[in-house]
Every structure is written in structure tokens, then in C-alpha cells.
Chains A and B, each alone.
Chain A
Amino acid sequence: MPFARLVEPTRLKVVDVVAEALAAVLARPGRAALTALGTLLGVASFVAVLGLTSTASGQISAEFTKLEATQVTVEDVAANPQPNDIAFPDNAEQRVKRINGVNAAGVYWTGRGADHTVSARPGVARSDATQGIQVYAASPGFFKAIHAHLATGRTYDAFAENTQQRVCVLGVAAARELGISDVEQQPAVFVDGKPFTVLGIFDDAERIPESLLGVFIPDRSYTAAWGSPKPGTVAAHMVIDTRLGAADVVGDQVQVALRPDEPTRFQVNVPLSPKELTRQVNNQLQGLFLLLALICLAVGAVGIANTTLVAVLERVGEIGLRRSLGARPRHIAAHFLAESAALGLLGAMAGTSLGVVTVVAVAWVKSWTPLLDPVIVLPAPLVGGVMGLLAGVYPAWRASRIEPTEALRR
């Protein structure tokens, strides 16, 4: 008679292993909680670090896409400027606007430093003139390029520029200084005694905020009245508003578009691309904190290994009993592996929750949008389970080697 029919080998179902492990963990919830604490903290910091860096960099790129990422500035960096040689050609604005991706562009320069006297009435002595107001020459596209918001009236256009009209646009601070709030009566501003009709007042500008203190005169009107700015003393600039993502491409082309004969005369400043910036932030913060989180996770695993090993020694009697009841060494190992994995899994689940709560709380306090990658959050508990499983390998091996005769003597 084949022996197998007399005595069937003992077996252990996976579902029973899980049930036993959970029962063992829940039998001493306090100890289980303390054991899992290391894993909890490790996984929590892991999730929090990744969540916070992605949240923070998400905010940064949102800021930059709004404004900085669409701004290109051009400066005249000529080594030996010639007299009466303004770097930008007359039709600089039209040339740049032809580049694909440019929304608006404007050339501007500050008029002769602080030399101009500005007042709302004619014939004012220089000493009585309003201080702190800057006179700018700017091409018509300038206002759109700096995202100026008009409070009243309008800005001047290309026609006004071409016909060298004596008109101006005021920044809101300059308008307040001059006592001008209404443009319906066509008030005039006197610059060095020359009258300029105020067409409009803008109360906000996202770029070049000092322009709010300025009196803006069409560039050709300015040159007609005072001549070209002296190279070397007053540098002309160009500010360009590009479409999102076009800044780099525009930056590459703008020199040649402006001065095909002398492209190196200009220095072009393009923003850091948001992608690159995000990467920088991530690298700096994540590298350090992920290392800390990993250390925390490793400490947690060592904690589980230690406690499980102690539990093995403490439960020698139980191991012997189970062996006498028909448990094979591999069944004993499975029990302890499942227990340490359960500890790791439970700790990691609590840790993931804590990490998510941390990210959401920080985002709430900072009024940010919390960004959590499911690719990080969802496997996090499993990572803890795997750590627990690995931590249980040595204790489980030790447990499986315990002889029932030794165990039952106690």
C-alpha cells in the first residue's frame, strides 16, 4: 500500500498564513505599532518629500509659465558705440514681431537720465519741477510687451510714432504726482517746456514695474525733440513678450532679425526653461531628503528584523508546539515572514497616509495645489511590505531551524 494514502503530508494555506500573521500582529497592537513605527516614519517621509517637492516645483513652474518664461530682453552691448548710433533700427519692433512666437515687442530707453523737467503746467522752473518722474522713449509695442493695464484712455500707436506726434502715456504713480487723473480733457504734460498730450494712464505693469513712475513718449517723437540718445550713456533695451515655450527659439533669432550686419552687438536674455528649473529644484531638495527617507526606511526595516528576532526567541515554545502539531520548518518560516511583512505593510500604509496628509496640510497652509504622483503613492505601502518581508528573512530562517524537542522542554 503506498504510504501517501496512510498519512497525507501536512500543508499550510496562504490564506491561513495571512490570517495567522494578522492575528499575531493584532494580538499585541501596542507592540506592533511600535515595531512598525520606523517603517511608518520612513514611508511617511518618502511620500512627503516626493509630494512636497513635486508640489513646490509645480508652483514654481506655474509662476514661471505665467510671466518669466515668456520674457526675452535684448540689450545693447556694443564695445565702441559710434556717436548718434542707436543700436536698434527704426523698425526694430516690426522686425522682431515677424519672428514666430512673439506676441509683442517694444524698444525703450530712459530719456537723458534725470535731466528732463516734467510738470503739468508750462514755464515751470527746473527747481519746481516734479521730482522722481522718469521720461522714457518707447515704441508703441512696449505697453503690450510689459502687460501694462490701462486705467483710462489709450496708448499711442504706430501712426503716432511715425508722425512724431507729441503725445505721451503716463504710469499711474507719475500721473498722481502730476495731478492728472482724467484724460478726457486732453491734459498736457510739459517736458522741458514742450507740451505732450496725455493719451492714457496705466495702473499696473507686470514687467518693468518702475515704468509706473514714467512718462512715455513715442521713440521717434523723442528723437525729433531731443535727438538720439548718446550711445554709452543711455542704453536702449528691448523687451519681448513671447508665447509660452517660444522664448528659447525667439532668443536664438532676435539678434539676426534686428541687426543682420552686426548680430553680436546684442545680448539676449532668455529665461530658464521651466523644465530645467523644476529639475534643479527637484535635484537639490529630493536628493537630500530621499536619502534621509531611505535611511529612515532602512532603520525601520532593522527595527522590524530586531523585533521579529526577539519574538522568535520569545516564542520558541509556540514554534515547538506548531512543529508538534504538524508544521514543517517552511511553515514556521512562512508564519514569521508573513508577520514581518504584515508589520511592514501596516506601517507603510499608515506612513503613506501620514505622508499624504503632510503634503496636503503644507499645500493648504501655503495655498498651493497639492501634487501627488499616484506612481509614488500607490506602491508605497507595498515598498513597506517588501521591506518587512526582507527584514523577516533572517528571523524566519532562525525560527525554522528551532528543534521541537528543544522548544517543548520549556
Chain B
Amino acid sequence: MTLATEPVINLQQVARTYTGPPAVKALANVNLTVSRGEYVSVVGPSGSGKSTFLNVLGLLDRPTSGRYLLDGIDGAELSERDRTALRGRRIGFVFQAFHLLSHRTAVENVMLPQLYTGMPRKKRRRQALDMLERVGMAHRAEGQAGQLSGGERQRVAIARALVNGPSLLLCDEPTGNLDSETAATVLQLIDELHSQGLSVLVVTHDSGVARRAQRTVMIKDGKLEVQLHAVPAFPEEGP
């Protein structure tokens, strides 16, 4: 199987138990496949194991059992060094809290992931500016991240997630800190990126956000209970 036909995410009987006492089974026997170019949302109430699921998907945490293949690569078999490399090169993270360096400019924030990929310094800036252009933030490239609005910050954060050319855009409550109007424009941006062929997985508790995905997965008590094929977003919610 080549990389193009390999599913981006392939979870096989993945479980994650936090050793006690008392032992907590945060994930139990989860199976999920996300194909390349797919847009999947994961919903669930707080305490459902959503965060654990996100950490496992983001290679930030190791499953206690089962197999997790990212781009066909088994993260469990990798050394910590290679897991870090896989995470850095194949996953683009978008956080609820943006996690921008507020004292640095937008373009410097977008250049940050390239620090660890060994890309020549000259190329970094050009690529970062291209990526800011792509998310519609080229005009604020030299603005201090701390002085941007919430929506602008999340756009810069998305540009940062994309700059290494990841296989997967992993979004954790991407609109959690935004008002509904700004949220809509950010979600619109994610829709556009998906339509350009990017694989997207959004973890949220907001059903309005979840509905924009092609498919929604419900997680409850550490189990993937229902796999909903969501209807496209309601027309009146669109931008």
C-alpha cells in the first residue's frame, strides 16, 4: 500500500488505562479509520475520554494496548525520538488556547515548527509567509501575536499547524475561545483546507462545530459508541 491509499488514522482495539490506584480505563477497544482527505469530528461530554483520545491520536500519549497506525506507521513500536519526529512532521495541532508566543510576530510563530525539521533558515520565512497568505493573514505577518484578535490568532495557529505539510490537522476545540461569528470564519477556513485535500480531525463538545465534518464519532465512557455520518452544516449556520 502506498502512502496515498494508506488511511491517515487506523486505530485497532486501542485502549488506554491510567494505572491506579484506582486504575481508570480512559479508552477501551477503540476502532477508527480515517481516510486521506476525510473530515471527521469527535464529540463527547467532558470526562468521556475525549482528551485521552486526542493525546493518543496526537502521539502525545501511548495506548496501553492495541495498534495505532498513523500514515501506516505504528507509533507504539517507535522510540521516543521517532515518535516525536512523527508527531512534528505528520501532525498539525490546533489548540483551543492557540498557544502562540505572544511576544513574537505572527510570521515568527508560523516559523516555529520548522525550527525542528532542519529546514534552511532562508526557506522558513518564505514558507511561513506563504502559509499566512493561505489562511488570509498575510497582512498581519509582522504583527505581535499578543496584539492579534482571537480569530486572527487561531488563523495564525492554523498556519503554524500547516507549515510542515502534515498528513493530519488535529484540532482540539478550535473555536472554544472564540465568539460565534469569529468561530464561523475559522470553521470556514478549516472547511476550505479540507476541500483542498487536507485530512482533518476535530475534537469538540460543540455539536454545531461537529456537524461541519463529513462524519462524526461519539465518544462516551471511553468507548466509541456511535458513528454518525453527519449531514452537511445547516445552511443558516454557514458564513
Give A contacts to B, CB under 8 Å: 3, 6-13, 15-16, 20, 23, 27-28, 317-318, 320-328, 331, 403-405, 408-410
CB distance from A335 to the nearest CB of B (A): 10
Of all chain A residues, the one with the shortest Cβ separation from B124 is A16
How distant is A342 from chain B, measured CB to nearest CB, in Å? 15
Other-chain contact of B60, A3, A12, A408 (Cβ < 8 Å): A408
Name the segment of B87-95, B211-219, B220-228 touching the other chain: B87-95
Within 8 A of A (CB), among B81-116: 81-82, 84-91, 93, 95, 97, 99, 101, 103-104, 108, 112-113, 115-116
- Which of B88, B89, B112, B118 counts the most chain A CB atoms within 10 A? B88
Sort A-B residue pairs by CB-CB distance and give the 9 closest, nearest first.
A326-B88, A27-B103, A326-B116, A10-B116, A321-B99, A325-B113, A9-B85, A10-B85, A405-B60
A206 shortest CB reach to chain B, Å: 67
- Distance in angstroms from A310 CB to nearest chain B CB is 16
Q: Are A10 and B89 in contact (CB under 8 A)?
A: yes
Pair B115/A12 contact, Cβ less than 8 Å:
yes
Known: A321-B99, A405-B61, A408-B60. Contact between A7 and B85, CB under 8 A?
yes
A8-B85, A8-B89, A317-B99 known; A325-B116 Cβ under 8 A: yes
Tell yes or no: B207 within 8 A of A by CB: no
CB distance from A161 to the nearest CB of B (A): 89
A404–B88 touching, CB < 8 Å: no
List of B residues within 8 angstroms of A27 by Cβ: 101, 103-104
Q: Give the CA-CA distance A9 to B80 in the complex, in Å.
A: 10
Question: Does B58 touch A at the CB level, under 8 Å?
Answer: yes
With A10-B117, A405-B60, A408-B95 known as contacts, the answer to whether A324 contacts B87 (CB < 8 A) is yes
Least CB distance, A95 to chain B, in whole angstroms: 83
Interface of A is mostly: helix
Min distance, Cβ B165 to any Cβ of chain A, angstroms: 13
List, in ascending order, chain A residues with CB within 8 A of B195's CB: none
Which residue of A7, A11, A331, A403 is within 8 Å of B82 (Cβ)? A7
Enumerate chain A residues within 8 angstroms of B58, measured Cβ to Cβ. 324
Within 8 A of A (CB), among B55-94: 55, 58, 60-61, 71, 73, 78, 80-82, 84-91, 93
Which residues on the B side are within 8 Å of A7 (C-beta)?
73, 82, 85-86, 89-90
Chain B nearest CB from A333 CB (Å) reads 14
- Please tell me if the beta carbons of B104 and A327 are within 8 angstroms of each other in the complex: no
Pick the most buried of A15, A317, A318, A321: most chain B CB atoms within 10 A of its CB.
A321
B51 interfacial by beta-carbon distance below 8 Å: yes
CB of A372, distance to nearest CB on chain B (Å): 38
Q: Do A28 and B103 contact each other (CB < 8 Å), given the known contacts A325-B116, A331-B116, A405-B61?
A: yes
Chain B, Cβ-Cβ closest to A327 = B116
Return B23 CB to nearest CB of chain A, in Å: 18
A1 vs B113: C-alpha distance in the bound complex, in angstroms?
A: 27
- CA–CA, A263 to B73, complex, Å? 100
User: Would you call B116 and A324 a contact (CB within 8 A)?
Assistant: no
Cα A11 to Cα B55 with chains together (Å)? 23
**Which residues, 171 to 228 on B, are CB-close (under 8 Å) to A?**
172
B84 / chain A contacts, CB cutoff of 8 Å: 9-10, 323, 326-328
6 A-B pairs, CB-CB below 8 angstroms?
A10-B88, A11-B116, A20-B115, A317-B97, A328-B80, A404-B60
B59: nearest residue on chain A (CB-CB)?
A324
Assuming the A-B contacts A325-B112, A327-B88, are A9 and B82 also in contact, with contact meaning beta carbons closer than 8 angstroms in the complex?
yes
Give CA–CA (A207, B213) in the complex, Å: 103
Nearest CB in chain B: distance from A308 CB, A: 16
Nearest chain A CB to B108's CB is how many angstroms away?
Answer: 7
**Residues of A with C-beta under 8 A to B99:** 317-318, 320-321, 408
Which of B85, B97, B108 contacts A326 (CB under 8 A)?
A: B85
State A153–B71 Cα separation when bound (angstroms): 110
- Give the interface centre of B89, B91, B160, B164 by most chain A CB atoms within 10 Å: B89
Find out whether the CB atom of A3 lies under 8 angstroms from the CB atom of B97: no
Q: How far is the CA of A77 from the CA of B71 in the complex (A)?
A: 104
Closest chain B residue to A15 by CB distance?
B121
B82–A3 touching, CB < 8 Å: yes
Please measure, in the bound complex, the distance between the C-alpha atom of A327 and the C-alpha atom of B113, giving whole angstroms: 9
- Report how far A403 CA is from B121 CA in the complex, Å: 28
CB of B81 within 8 A of CB of A23, answer: no
Complexed CA–CA distance, A408 and B51 (Å): 10
Residues of B within 8 A of A328 (CB): 80-81, 84
CB distance from B48 to the nearest CB of A (A): 15
Residues of A within 8 A of B104 (CB): 23, 27
Q: Least Cβ distance of B205 to chain A in Å?
A: 15
Bound form: Cα–Cα A16–B80 in Å: 22
Could you tell me if B55 and A6 are in contact, using CB atoms closer than 8 angstroms? no
How many whole Å from A338's CB to the nearest CB in chain B? 13
Shortest C-beta distance, B5 to chain A (Å), equals: 15
Minimum CB–CB distance from A374 to chain B (whole Å) comes to: 35
Chain B residues with CB below 8 A from A327, complex form: 84, 88, 115-116
Give bound CA distance, A326 to B58, whole Å. Answer: 11
Q: For residue A28, which residue of chain B has the nearest CB?
A: B103
Assuming the contacts A7-B82, A405-B61, asked whether A326 and B51 have C-beta atoms less than 8 A apart, the reply is no
**In the complex, chain B residues whose CB is within 8 Å of the CB of A324:** 58, 60, 87-88, 91, 93
A403 to chain B: which residues have CB within 8 Å?
60
